[in-house]
Structure 1
Amino acid sequence: MSILAPFLAFLLAGAVAAYHRLRLAYWAAITATLLVACWLFGANHTATLIAAAIVALIAVPLLVPGLRKPLVTAPLLGFYKKILPPLSQTERIALESGSVGFEGELFSGDPDWKQLLDQPKPQLTAEEQAFLDGPVEELARMTNDWEITHVHADLPPELWDFIKRNKFFGMIIPKEYGGLGFSALAHHKVIQKLASVSTVLSSTVGVPNSLGPGELLMHYGTQAQKDHYLPRLADGREVPCFGLTGPFAGSDATSIPDYGIVCEGEWNGAKVVGIKLTFDKRYITLAPVASIIGLAFRMYDPDGLLGDKRDLGITLALMPRDTAGVEVGRRHFPLNSPFQNGPVRGHEVFLPLSQIIGEENGIGEGWRMLSECLSIGRSITLPSTASGGAKFGAIVTGAYARIRKQFGLSVGRFEGVEEALARIAGKAYATSALSQATAAAVDRGEKPAVPSAIAKYHCTTMGREVAKDVMDVLGGKGIILGPRNFAGRAWQASPIAITVEGANIMTRSLLIFGQGAILCHPWVLKEMKAAQDPDAKAGLEAFDRNLFGHIGYAFSNAVRSFWFGLTAAKIGKAPGDDYTRRYFRKLDRYSANLALMADVSMLLLGGKLKFKESLSGRLGDVLSHLYMTSAMLKRYHDEGAPVADQPLLAWAFHNSVHEIELALSAALRNFPIRPVVWLLWALIFPWGRRAEAPSDRLGRRAAALLMTPNEARDRLAQGVFTTPCANNPAGRIDSYLARVVLAEPVERKFLKALKTSDIEALDFPAQLDEGVREGWITAEERKQLEELRAMTLDTISVDDFDPHELRAAGYYDLPQHQRHPREAA
């Protein structure tokens, strides 16, 4: 034992120093102190001297800059430059256009939870709340989604007029330009509520307030452009759209084939320098009704009218609809969610340089503009839409499952339905927290590139999963379309959000970890910049500083991963209360796991990691669920840590950590270098994979919250349209829940008496008459049961139609040759 003691002291000092992220000098001092103690207390002197020599061999070259830089750093810098994957200009712009918020802490392996919990609670201003309670509520009451989707295939004129008159298109435009000047949180709340009424409505309002002319002009437009367009966009005189996607450039927007040639032409009667644009765009929301079209294209100057450079890069311009040569095509029809969407084309359309966003300063800056604004728009519109749909589905389906009975029992009491309700409840809670977190990040002035990708992917994915479970619980009620069906159109529309603004497959496999590994990592981007510094001396200095910071960080995460795995993350300092402290400890563990896996993957795979999309997707899942659970814990504490919400938080949290361990184990099983996997598995899962999916008992508690009036259910319902009215059958179902629960004891008493009696009455009214005569129920209870029967009938009823009502109005009135789309020339 006396021989092993110095080496155990060496390992112990290293582990403690790495866990607490002490500087190398402190590690050397602690180790030296322990070795001296070993010497004094009788450890083997030869072993102690060997351990001391090892410490000296490590510490002296690394602690003395004059030795470290030429002997260690310079050779490593040369090797690093060889394995460093080349960054294109577009990749560089995309990385530099985003900022890093709390997601950077999740990549650190030791998150500063105080930073998260100290962020101000997201709150609306009195003016914003009044807008939600006033115009938004009124607009929701006016909306009949069946008429929009089946009868008109559009918003009716009175809704368009109301939207414009109340400046729904100008929510993000500052007040000095006639807009509402709302926060991102208010924007999120408005879209969330409208999405619970109609996805066509939420899309129509969301797009002008997302990536498009308004936002681009606010950030990059000249003063003259702002003064002219922003007031007109705010009050609806101009309806905007933005053309980015084309037949040959979807997700790969940097490869757009649309082009503009610098030339001279005529504009408003004067000869000016401008551009001739040739373009073919599709999937452009609001294009069929837009009056001003934003356009992304590659700009060329073959005649050198603006300088020596021929390819000027991606540029953005504003094009009035009535510009000569512009063709707005016929409408697309997106999955029975007929928001205005269609193609825009043009051949040699002339625009002056004054129509370029930012004018001459905007030439070639289009990709930077899009990269910076896309993260902001993607943080709000799609996550908020998914949140509104998920919360609405949870609340109404919970009420339906309590009201609808089979075999004398509410269908929500069957375990199979309980499982679905638990998933609906937990994912609605997670989606709501995640969508609010990204909106809050925008309000803090961040440009959340990575969180926006996380929110877009996971909110829309969970939204689709919730829609599926809602349909399964509703059964026949869900599949029969009509005015009474509150779920069918949402189910049909769910793939749309999955597809737009970066398809989810691409977002998961390329963007989340691909950007996060560089942008959020505390050292990688700094090392890359140092390696590319044209000043060799400054570059070596910076690389030296960041490299050894990175090495210490990597050792720390290896030790922390092993320690947390060994102790099941039950030991250690953590914030929160008695209930959530264990959750924060678990996230500490998975943060260290992610950081370790990311470092090993980048070190060993180098530039090849970019093409390992399955590995990237799985590590992206880990980062995503870390961010999502952080958002849930933040929300829980912001709301005063309500005990009633604990089943929702617990289900969503355990589901996420289960997904984290599945993703980590899949990444390890498929890692291409097998000996490395054995070591990583021992560090990350020393006792094997332990996280389990939410239990049936927990699921039962979460499902019960949806089927009973309570404060947790009320909190989940905040921000969606549940007002009972003629146009909102779901609101009526929700309003019945409390009265149904009160009537259930009377119903059970009546049915029990009826079952044991020998009365011959077969219809319900006659049975009630007999019940009153026999004294089973009172006259007052009879009224209660009659009301229960009426509420149940309204809840479960579906629609039927005359055949002509289901025909596409106008289509079959066309001549045969006009019934099919024009073939492309």
Structure 2
Amino acid sequence: MSDLRKKWITRPLLKLIKRVLPPISETEREAMEAGEVWWDAQLLSGKPDWEQLLGMGPPELSEEEQAFLDGPVEALCRMLDDWQISFEDRCIPAEIWDFLKREKFFGIIIPKSYGGLGFSPSAHAEIVTKISTRSTCVGVTVMVPNSLGPGELLIAHGTEAQKNYYLPRLADGREIPCFGLTSPEAGSDAASMVDSGVVCYGEYKGQKTLGMRVNWHKRYITLGPVATILGLAFKLYDPDHILGDKEALGITVALVPTDTEGVTIGQRHLPAMQAFQNGPNWGKDVFVPMEWVIGGRENVGRGWHMLMKALAAGRGISLPSLSTGGAKMAARTTGAYARIREQFGIPIGKFEGVQRRLAEIAGIAYVLDSAHKTTTRALDEGLKPAVVSAIMKAHATQGLRQSINDAMDIHAGKAIMDGPLNYIGNVYRAVPVAITVEGANILTRSLMIFGQGAIRCHPYLFEEMLAAENPDSEAGVEVLDRLLPKHFWFQVKTFARAVLHGWTVGLFATSPKGVGKAAKYYRQLNRYSAVLTLVTEFSLMSLGGELKRKELISARLGDVLSELYLLSCTLKRFKDDGSPRADRPLLEFAMRAGLHRIEERLLEVFQNFPHRFLGQLMHFLTMPWGHSINPASDRQARACAELLMAPSETRDRLTKGVFLGNPGDGVDLVEQAFIKVCATQSIRDKLKKGGIRTLNHAAIDEGIQKALISEEEAEQLRETADAVNLAIQVDHFDKLGSESAAH
């Protein structure tokens, strides 16, 4: 019976899979095999095991890590003047570089045994997050050596000799690293890289040495202009077959000192008005000894695999940390400004249009901080979730863009006029940089998240695709014959679950124990996990390799997977915090917004599905009633906005880690005015009862004359009025562009 099944069912199906499913290139296979699947696989199982996520608990810092945040990180933030760095000097001052090196900010991830700090991913993330609330430029400068770069690659793949030499020097800043991957011709498509090396013998330290003659042109290389050691990716060839029979050996990664003969370090790029060091470099006929390959000769040709593994972890920390810091800073300062800035006698945060924007800012900060904490918690456990890291990079930077845009609108002229008092403008300028680097968001959203996620997270598909690469092999037939029954029952269960939950709007979906009133949201995530899994099966079976070219369909399904992940993290964070009742408006707003987006994307998939009948069928089976979840109501939005405009544990919890400024700078002035305005609200209410609605010295004097307030209360209001007046001011400059003596 088994032989007959293989002959008449399995073998023909194997050939059909070969024809229908997209072929996997070598670089695609290495990208998919790099990193691991984690909660993303549960979300594409149709029935997530919530204990796997909730059982992890919240991230926790060691005493040493917390002391570093409270000590050197706080001290660094107090030293920084972002206006001077970004606009006056266009570079980081020498004393800041010295401090970063002395305190080992470049050795956060390097083990203590090699002279580094040896901190956890969660600590790494918190450090970058806090610095970024003070200076994007310095945040990037600290971020890069600790994410994708020579340090991480050496730790994972270097020889002991390479580790012993370079890691201590990287940790204390004797070596400044950069990594050269992007070239003008290739960009995000590393397979099109033209930078190349040829295996040969050359002279090194006066001796004939096996190595490579390498030529390259790299650009957009962060820290490139100041780097002393260059991590270099290039395609290696062996036309003389010195290393073996193979001529094209693949992408290889080597460490090249920037003072090596033939290396040219170019002048700086100026990325979007940002002052961090970034620039091009070239190499012409540079002889690179084989011992400079990271990991030595045995890692020749394994560079792409090494890079993808590093990116699977680093991309989940670097830009999400910057984005989370920016979003939390926007929430803290915009809520305060909306409270102290008055129009028509009331705070602008009381206007409903402004309140909706404040709620969006609060919701984004809550979701990004939740997802950031959950992702770094997974990294603490040693996981390297590649798809999750791509989700975090794309959606964290996009979330930052939306929250900063809303913050700019609410601050209006305060955020438009440049100067030391403007704490929003430079973050606004930095957003396009974050959006486009480490994999441009358009590419990540359209091709990577669902394109890799659907295959990697599926319990059987990747193995089936590998088996189909050689449909005539007995091994492939054996693999598919073993997987087919399992895949079939997986489809049956997925179909039943998705249809049941779709027609009952998730009424019979399960939820974990002990989650209280949040149970309804767990049920909805279970519902849409089943729906996404079924739609994925339909899409892969009907479109096959064509799905690769249907980028908008792939992007929308990727958005659904991403929202499921972000909302899962939000529920986890709410539970980790003890399910505080005061935080419930944030949870309600975030969950409703995300679930509504899931429904929108699925309906767009059904409407635009290439096979119209299948699109209508999926709609009928999984969402027969159309939209079932509305965005947050106006009442819920007001509740979120109010959380940003009054002192509370919730506000402090949401914006924890934001540097609140040095005395007299923009953030500090708004924060101090906010404290005074909130503290004197009861006195203001006395004036308003007497018909006095404005806050200025004349109005306060009128209040005394009418016996509405005491002289002591009047003095408190005068201090408040002065604080508000300082906080809402903008900078002005003389005609030569130097700062005026008065703000």
- TM-score band by shorter chain is over 0.9
Q: What CA distance in whole angstroms lies between the structure 2 residues aligned with 1:763 and 1:717?
A: 28
Against the structure 1 CA distance between its residues 414 and 300, is the aligned structure 2 distance closer, same or farther, given a 3 Å change threshold? same
State yes or no: 1:420 paired with 2:357: yes
Against the structure 1 CA distance between its residues 277 and 793, is the aligned structure 2 distance closer, same or farther, given a 3 Å change threshold? same
> Which residue number in structure 2 is paired with residue 693 of structure 1?
631
Q: What CA distance in whole angstroms lies between the structure 2 residues aligned with 1:765 and 1:308?
A: 87
> Which residue number in structure 2 is paired with residue 126 of structure 1?
63
Q: Mean Cα displacement is larger for which, 672-681 or 66-75?
A: 66-75
**Which residue of 373, 378, 400 maps to 1:463?**
400
**Which residue of 230, 235, 242 maps to 2:179?**
242
What does 1:725-736 correspond to in 2, within 5 Å? 725-726=663-664, 728-736=665-673
Paired residues of 1:387 and 1:435 also in contact (CA < 8 A): yes
State yes or no: 1:507 paired with 2:438: no
Residues 270-294 of structure 1 show CA distances to partners (whole Å, capped at 9, x for unaligned) of 2312212111110000011111111
> Which residue number in structure 2 is paired with residue 160 of structure 1?
97
Q: What CA distance in whole angstroms lies between the structure 2 residues aligned with 1:143 and 1:524?
A: 51
Residues 427-481 of structure 1 show CA distances to partners (whole Å, capped at 9, x for unaligned) of 1111111122221222111111100000000000000100100000000000001
Q: What CA distance in whole angstroms lies between the structure 1 residues aligned with 2:624 and 2:589?
A: 25
Deviation at 1:73, TM superposition (A): 3.1
Paired residues of 1:721 and 1:731 also in contact (CA < 8 A): no
**Which residue of 244, 258, 262 maps to 1:325?**
262
TM (normalized to structure 2)?
A: 0.96
Q: What CA distance in whole angstroms lies between the structure 2 residues aligned with 1:187 and 1:392?
A: 18
Question: Match of 2:422, as an amino acid?
Answer: N
State yes or no: 1:803 paired with 2:735: yes
Paired residues of 1:163 and 1:169 also in contact (CA < 8 A): yes
Deviation at 1:68, TM superposition (A): 4.5
Deviation at 1:724, TM superposition (A): 4.7
> Which residue number in structure 1 is paired with residue 560 of structure 2?
622
> Which residue number in structure 1 is paired with residue 676 of structure 2?
739
Paired residues of 1:733 and 1:795 also in contact (CA < 8 A): yes
Q: Mean Cα displacement is larger for which, 171-180 or 74-83?
A: 74-83
Provide the secondary structure at the position in 2 that maps to 1:312: strand
Deviation at 1:751, TM superposition (A): 4.7
> Which residue number in structure 2 is paired with residue 27 of structure 1?
none
Against the structure 1 CA distance between its residues 277 and 187, is the aligned structure 2 distance closer, same or farther, given a 3 Å change threshold? same
Q: What CA distance in whole angstroms lies between the structure 2 residues aligned with 1:258 and 1:710?
A: 55
State yes or no: 1:549 paired with 2:493: no
Provide the secondary structure at the position in 1 that maps to 2:516: coil
> Which residue number in structure 1 is paired with residue 597 of structure 2?
659
Paired residues of 1:141 and 1:725 also in contact (CA < 8 A): no
State yes or no: 1:304 paired with 2:241: yes
Deviation at 1:558, TM superposition (A): 2.0
Provide the secondary structure at the position in 2 that maps to 1:296: strand
Residues 325-344 of structure 1 show CA distances to partners (whole Å, capped at 9, x for unaligned) of 11111100011111100001
> Which residue number in structure 2 is paired with residue 703 of structure 1?
641
Paired residues of 1:283 and 1:332 also in contact (CA < 8 A): yes
Deviation at 1:523, TM superposition (A): 1.6
Q: What CA distance in whole angstroms lies between the structure 2 residues aligned with 1:273 and 1:65?
A: 54
Deviation at 1:548, TM superposition (A): 1.9
State yes or no: 1:385 paired with 2:317: no
Question: Match of 2:447, as an amino acid?
Answer: L
> Which residue number in structure 1 is paired with residue 147 of structure 2?
210
Question: Match of 2:730, as an amino acid?
Answer: V
Q: What CA distance in whole angstroms lies between the structure 1 residues aligned with 2:436 and 2:10?
A: 46
Q: Mean Cα displacement is larger for which, 731-740 or 489-498?
A: 731-740
Against the structure 1 CA distance between its residues 527 and 303, is the aligned structure 2 distance closer, same or farther, given a 3 Å change threshold? closer
Q: What CA distance in whole angstroms lies between the structure 2 residues aligned with 1:316 and 1:434?
A: 32
Q: What CA distance in whole angstroms lies between the structure 1 residues aligned with 2:58 and 2:470?
A: 41
Question: Match of 2:444, as an amino acid?
Answer: T
**Which residue of 757, 779, 784 maps to 2:716?**
784
Q: What CA distance in whole angstroms lies between the structure 2 residues aligned with 1:346 and 1:74?
A: 51
Against the structure 1 CA distance between its residues 609 and 740, is the aligned structure 2 distance closer, same or farther, given a 3 Å change threshold? same
**Which residue of 335, 354, 373 maps to 1:398?**
335
> Which residue number in structure 2 is paired with residue 608 of structure 1?
546
**Which residue of 411, 430, 435 maps to 2:372?**
435
State yes or no: 1:775 paired with 2:707: yes
Q: Mean Cα displacement is larger for which, 644-653 or 301-310?
A: 301-310
Q: What CA distance in whole angstroms lies between the structure 2 residues aligned with 1:279 and 1:447?
A: 30
Deviation at 1:532, TM superposition (A): 4.4
Question: Match of 1:133, as an amino acid?
Answer: D
What does 1:132-211 correspond to in 2, within 5 Å? 132-211=69-148
Paired residues of 2:176 and 2:228 also in contact (CA < 8 A): yes
Against the structure 1 CA distance between its residues 283 and 657, is the aligned structure 2 distance closer, same or farther, given a 3 Å change threshold? same
State yes or no: 1:407 paired with 2:339: no
Q: What CA distance in whole angstroms lies between the structure 2 residues aligned with 1:333 and 1:627?
A: 35
What does 1:633-648 correspond to in 2, within 5 Å? 633-648=571-586
Q: What CA distance in whole angstroms lies between the structure 1 residues aligned with 2:701 and 2:91?
A: 49
**Which residue of 725, 728, 733 maps to 1:793?**
725
**Which residue of 232, 255, 258 maps to 1:295?**
232
> Which residue number in structure 2 is paired with residue 527 of structure 1?
464
Q: What CA distance in whole angstroms lies between the structure 2 residues aligned with 1:420 and 1:793?
A: 24
Paired residues of 2:415 and 2:424 also in contact (CA < 8 A): yes
Against the structure 1 CA distance between its residues 78 and 325, is the aligned structure 2 distance closer, same or farther, given a 3 Å change threshold? closer
> Which residue number in structure 2 is paired with residue 44 of structure 1?
none
Q: What CA distance in whole angstroms lies between the structure 2 residues aligned with 1:154 and 1:560?
A: 57
Q: Mean Cα displacement is larger for which, 178-187 or 72-81?
A: 72-81
Residues 474-527 of structure 1 show CA distances to partners (whole Å, capped at 9, x for unaligned) of 000000010100000001111110000000000000000000010011121122
Paired residues of 2:178 and 2:221 also in contact (CA < 8 A): yes
What does 1:217-256 correspond to in 2, within 5 Å? 217-256=154-193
Deviation at 1:98, TM superposition (A): 2.0
> Which residue number in structure 1 is paired with residue 531 of structure 2?
593
TM (normalized to structure 1)?
A: 0.87
Paired residues of 1:396 and 1:731 also in contact (CA < 8 A): no
Paired residues of 1:170 and 1:180 also in contact (CA < 8 A): yes
Question: Match of 1:204, as an amino acid?
Answer: T
Against the structure 1 CA distance between its residues 750 and 238, is the aligned structure 2 distance closer, same or farther, given a 3 Å change threshold? same
Q: What CA distance in whole angstroms lies between the structure 1 residues aligned with 2:496 and 2:619?
A: 13
Provide the secondary structure at the position in 2 that maps to 1:317: strand
Deviation at 1:535, TM superposition (A): 9.1
Deviation at 1:531, TM superposition (A): 3.5
CA RMSD of aligned residues (A): 1.8
Deviation at 1:806, TM superposition (A): 5.2
Gaps (5+ residues) in structure 1?
A: 1-63, 757-761, 808-825
Q: Mean Cα displacement is larger for which, 501-510 or 310-319?
A: 310-319
**Which residue of 620, 640, 649 maps to 1:682?**
620
Larger RCO (CA under 8 A, 6+ residues apart): 2
Q: Mean Cα displacement is larger for which, 130-139 or 117-126?
A: 117-126
Q: What is the number of residues matched between the two proteins?
A: 738
Question: Match of 1:795, as an amino acid?
Answer: A
Paired residues of 2:235 and 2:252 also in contact (CA < 8 A): yes
Provide the secondary structure at the position in 2 that maps to 1:271: strand
> Which residue number in structure 1 is paired with residue 208 of structure 2?
271
Gaps (5+ residues) in structure 2?
A: none
> Which residue number in structure 1 is paired with residue 651 of structure 2?
713
Paired residues of 1:299 and 1:313 also in contact (CA < 8 A): yes
Q: Mean Cα displacement is larger for which, 789-798 or 506-515?
A: 789-798
Question: Match of 2:723, as an amino acid?
Answer: M
Paired residues of 2:696 and 2:721 also in contact (CA < 8 A): no
Provide the secondary structure at the position in 2 that maps to 1:446: coil
Paired residues of 1:331 and 1:341 also in contact (CA < 8 A): yes
Q: What CA distance in whole angstroms lies between the structure 2 residues aligned with 1:806 and 1:374?
A: 42
Deviation at 1:238, TM superposition (A): 0.4
